[in-house]
Amino acid sequence: MKLTTKGRYAVTAILDLALHETHGPTTLADISVRQGISLSYLEQLFAKMRRSKLVDSTRGPGGGYRLARAKHEISVVDIVDSVNESIQVTKCEGKGGCDNGEMCLTHELWNDLSEQINQYLLAITVEDLIKRPEILSLSAKQDQRVLKAADAIPVSERI
């Protein structure tokens, strides 16, 4: 399976957005600090997710990103697809040219596995994930870590 950093980070960023949506739009800088993902990488991911209509952006002071659809309407597959990731485990990416341009003996096995993974991730929504106790606990720890880091910055440098 070739789910790269791009797909994992996109799912992580959307979860962060969903977990903090009650505070209004979330900035990419906030997600970057909480999740340890570079701001420039998040900008690339969010541009793709905005084109796929998963997120909306608001400019200006108090601006940031929000989910464009309800949490129960966004599946993990939607997020992964939005950043052009593949959940294909065949080395030919499902095209059938695995063995010198022809289908290999195990093509159908790996193709079926890809379909099972796709169906599994299609059935999991953002809402399902943010209800999980372990995710809520990790999110609370991240928020505390960010608050502690902000408190360590002298008041004269916070402006």
Q: Write out pLDDT tens, residues 75-84.
A: 999 999 999 8
CB count within 10 Å of CB 45 equals 23
pLDDT value of residue 83: 94
Statement: residue 158 has pLDDT above 60: no
Q: Stretch 68-78: mean pLDDT, rounded?
A: 97
Indicate the pLDDT class of residue 62, thresholds 50, 70 and 90.
confident
Asked if 25 and 62 touch (Cβ cutoff 8 Å), the reply is: yes
What percent of the chain clears pLDDT 70, i.e. is strictly above it?
Answer: 91
Residues 128-143 pLDDT 10s: 999 999 999 999 999 8
| 3-class secondary structure, 28 | helix
Provide the whole-model pTM. 0.85
| Distance in angstroms (rounded) separating the CA atoms of residues 83 and 7 | 7
Asked if 29 and 15 touch (Cβ cutoff 8 Å), the reply is: no
Name all domains of the chain by residue range, CATH numbers in brackets: 5-152 (1.10.10.10)
| Distance in angstroms (rounded) separating the CA atoms of residues 78 and 19 | 18
pLDDT value of residue 104: 85
Among the listed residues 69, 97, 84, the one whose alpha carbon sits nearest the alpha carbon of residue 2: 84
Q: Which amino acid is at 152?
A: A
| Sequence-separated (6 or more) residues with CB below 8 Å from residue 65 | 17, 25, 26, 27, 28, 46, 50, 55, 56, 57, 58
